[in-house]
Chains A and B, each alone.
Chain A
Amino acid sequence: MTAIEFAGVCRDFNTPEGATYRALDDITFRVDAGAFVAIVGPSGCGKSTLLNIAAGLITPSIGEVRVDGQPLTGLNRRATYMFQQDALLPWKNVRDNVALGLTLAGAASREAHARADAWLDRVGLAAFAAHYPAQLSGGMRKRVAMAQNWIIDRGLLLMDEPFSALDVHTRQRMETELLSLWEGAGARRTVLFVTHDLDEAIALADDVVVLSAGPASRVVARHRVTLERPRDLMELRTTPAYIDLYRALWVVLREEVVKSQRAEARRA
């Protein structure tokens, strides 16, 4: 079954000079239900734009997105979105932040809090329920954001470089936790994970989609990651299968990165 499908999606933006800038050009691919798909590409290639389109936060200029076979109009109510930046509500404590999705749906506060506490337990933050986001470390805030997203039961998880602001060790821990959440869930959720880091993409995903350098990014490659699950992220990166995959994908991505750097140099 297809969870989400991009059909000829283009997106144009108006530049301050009055011209039109095409960020995405004819993006077409589908993601199977329950699959973990990573989207990689050089910076500025429109990865986040693509995710925002999947979320329904922006609309395609041409083409359409289908969610579970239905054309997407308005916000994508079958998806949650984990942002690159801090998106927790600073004026709500950790428990209220995690419970927010339930509260908004009209759940009674006692039930919402009980379920939030259960989630805080799962992400190892039970002791921090009454803290405010400003009192937590970057890694802890990401865990709260994960719980905030996972507590509402939606089939599709959109993630926009969620761990890119973290140091390398915290990041690896968060990736491990994400995988164990995902692999541990009864009915697997579909994940669309945007990253600029090929390493992260291969380590986490079933499928890696490579976007070309902007403007007018398109899908230039799609590779199946055949590494077995559950994966041990501490060891994975030194296995021959991983290294072969990395080489194959890097050849494609490197070309796009070089193009994007040249384009940037021309603009400067």
Chain B
Amino acid sequence: MRRSVLAAQVVVGVAALALWQGLVALHVIDPFFVSQPSEIARRIASWVRNGSLWAHLAVTVEEALLGLVVGAAIGIALGFVFARSPFVARVFDPYIKMLNAIPRVVLAPLFLLWFGLGIWSKVALAVTLVFFVMFFSTYQGVRDASQVIIDNVRMLGATERQLVRHVLVPSALTWIFSSLHTSLGFAMVGAVVGEYLGSTRGLGYVISQAEGTFDTTGVFAGMTILAIVVVIVSAGVARLERWLLRWKM
């Protein structure tokens, strides 16, 4: 099963690329607008050779990971507080919703103003994206914990802190992990959009430079690298998840 899925995935990918390349070769579509796979591959290879790829990629990944860690930490912590205190949850509910409704792109120039052109304005943007996803899923996950299990553990002598550790955290982990995949994508988006709007380094910068000169090959090469990175990191998260949630069968 796993093998045939993998084989089919390769077939789909190769077919899509071949179709793209073929349509360009037959002059059905104009490579000026969409470039072509062979050109994109050549461009990526040249970036790898001259070393510029790693420098830009490292910056983007650093921003995204910082955004992910900080956003997740705040989101999970506040999610717990809200879930354990209905009063706090009800007081802040409209404000959380208001903040979540702000389009993050609007915030990006503000963050540039506040945190400068360096990595922190991008980290801040990633945090605003990751925070809400993690916050809502933690909140749900904690509230979703089985009342019978909570009662049982309390009868067995648990203190409030032990209850959090032995029941609420493990129970919320399922939800937290399912949103971690989404958060990861969002963290990358935050970093890249931040770079795109104002920076001197990073993949978003590379893409925006390429767009400035109508270099579609450069744009597609940048997007390809982003996609590959997200797939690799996602696979890592999935492994961690399988191990931590091994009791789920």
Interface residues of A (CB under 8 A from B): 55, 57, 75-77, 79-81, 83, 85-93, 100-101, 104-105, 132-135, 148, 152
**Also in contact, A92 and B247, with CB within 8 A (given A79-B155, A105-B157, A152-B156):** yes
**Also in contact, A89 and B249, with CB within 8 A (given A83-B151, A104-B156):** no
Q: From the candidates B154, B155, B166, B173, name the one contacting A89 in the complex (CB within 8 A).
A: B166
Interface majority SS (helix, strand, loop, mixed), chain A? loop
Least CB separation from B150: chain A residue: A87
Distance of B224 from chain A, by nearest CB (Å): 39
Specify which chain B residues have a CB less than 8 angstroms from the CB of A132 in the assembled complex: 246-247, 249
Pick from A83, A104, A132, A134 the residue with the most CB of B within 10 Å: A104
A75 pairs with B154, CB closer than 8 A: yes
A80 pairs with B249, CB closer than 8 A: no
Specify which chain B residues have a CB less than 8 angstroms from the CB of A91 in the assembled complex: 170-171, 173, 245, 247
B247 pairs with A101, CB closer than 8 A: no
A135 pairs with B149, CB closer than 8 A: no
Q: From the candidates A75, A100, A134, name the one contacting B249 in the complex (CB within 8 A).
A: A134
Distance of A86 from chain B, by nearest CB (Å): 7
Least CB separation from A131: chain B residue: B247
B156 pairs with A90, CB closer than 8 A: no
Specify which chain A residues have a CB less than 8 angstroms from the CB of B158 in the assembled complex: 104
Size class of the B contact interface (CB-based, 8 Å): 20 to 34
A101 pairs with B157, CB closer than 8 A: yes
B152 pairs with A87, CB closer than 8 A: yes
B107 on the A face (CB < 8 A): no
Specify which chain B residues have a CB less than 8 angstroms from the CB of A89 in the assembled complex: 149, 153, 166-167, 170
A104 pairs with B157, CB closer than 8 A: yes
B248 on the A face (CB < 8 A): yes
B7 on the A face (CB < 8 A): no
12 cross-chain CB contacts under 8 A: A55-B155, A75-B155, A76-B155, A77-B157, A79-B155, A83-B152, A87-B149, A100-B166, A101-B157, A104-B158, A105-B157, A132-B246
Distance of B72 from chain A, by nearest CB (Å): 20
Least CB separation from B158: chain A residue: A104
A152 pairs with B157, CB closer than 8 A: yes
B166 pairs with A93, CB closer than 8 A: no
B152 pairs with A90, CB closer than 8 A: no
